[in-house]
């Protein structure tokens, strides 16, 4: 695996790409300490993450995944999942930041609308906006996006993309992406194969190398 030094600063975006089974999710699991690294180390503000409590480390991250997770309860309770002490005003502010306030107010009881365990009374895009509002409210230092717009249509994707851009503005973000057109602006792109980082750089640098990333990128626009 290539050695990669990356200083996580507010507003920086790391994209993790590769074909299915390349190890993208495994890398995220290492960041979150679901697995321990067996060589090298990952540090957060100079502290080896293996010396941190799992709870303390994971509070530093907010996650928006392809498969949303909502529970049986009100819309407001779902947004406040990571901050149960949040006020109604804070919940609404988070929903507005996530571009979710408008559709929430069209629901039968607005923020007090009760969702079933699968949130089947919401569309896929609406469920995703609620999870983004949840992260806004939790206000973590770092973000992980795992194909957050993969299951929605083009128009809904644009709304979610705006919410994601606002969320990423002052945070370090790690983005797993299959559609490479969505990560061309990343500060660093890690291209993975068989569990290894085989190429890294900006979009322009990797295209210039005419390697595996360039081949995959060009194949998506052939």
Calpha distance 88→93 (Å, rounded): 9
The residues, ordered by sequence, that sit 6+ positions from 39 with a Cβ below 8 Å of its Cβ are none
All structural domains of the chain with their residue ranges? 1-60+143-222, 70-139
Most confident range (mean pLDDT) of 31-45, 57-71, 179-193, 199-213 is 199-213
Q: pLDDT-based confidence at 193, cuts 50/70/90?
A: very high
CB distance 160 to 129 below 8 Å: yes
User: What's the whole-model pTM score?
Assistant: 0.83
pLDDT of the residue at 112: 97
Residue 7 DSSP one-character state: -
Q: pLDDT-based confidence at 186, cuts 50/70/90?
A: very high
pLDDT in tens, 25-84: 888 888 888 887 777 788 887 888 888 888 888 888 988 887 788 898 999 999 999 899
Stretch (H or E) spanning 212: helix 212-219
Nearest to 131 by CA among 170, 100, 102: 100
Q: Under CATH, to which class is 70-139 assigned?
A: alpha beta
pLDDT at 222 over 70: no
pLDDT in tens, 78-107: 999 989 999 999 999 999 999 999 999 999
pLDDT of the residue at 34: 83
Calpha distance 86→109 (Å, rounded): 19
Determine the CATH number of domain 1-60+143-222. Answer: 3.40.50.300
Average pLDDT, the chain: 86
């Amino acid at each position: 695996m290539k050695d990669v030094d990356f200083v996580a600063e507010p507003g920086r975006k790391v994209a993790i790409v590769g074909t299915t089974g390349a190890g993208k999710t495994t890398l995220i699991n290492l960041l979150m300490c679901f697995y321990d690294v067996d060589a090298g180390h990952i540090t957060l503000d100079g502290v080896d993450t293996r010396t941190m409590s799992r709870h303390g480390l994971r509070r530093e991250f907010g996650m928006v995944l392809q498969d949303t997770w909502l529970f049986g309860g009100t819309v407001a309770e779902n947004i406040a999942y990571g901050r149960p002490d949040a006020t109604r005003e804070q919940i609404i502010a988070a929903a507005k930041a996530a571009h979710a306030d408008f559709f929430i107010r069209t629901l039968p009881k607005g923020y007090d609308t009760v969702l079933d365990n699968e949130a089947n009374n919401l569309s896929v895009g609406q469920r995703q906006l609620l999870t983004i509002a949840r992260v806004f409210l939790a206000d973590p230092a770092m973000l992980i996006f795992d194909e957050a717009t993969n299951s929605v249509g083009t128009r809904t994707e644009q709304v979610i993309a705006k919410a994601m851009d606002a969320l990423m503005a002052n945070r370090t973000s790690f983005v797993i992406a299959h559609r490479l057109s969505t990560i061309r602006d990343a500060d660093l792109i890690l291209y993975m194969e068989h569990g290894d980082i085989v190429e890294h750089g900006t979009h322009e640098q990797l295209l210039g190398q005419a390697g595996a990333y360039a081949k995959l990128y060009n194949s998506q626009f052939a």
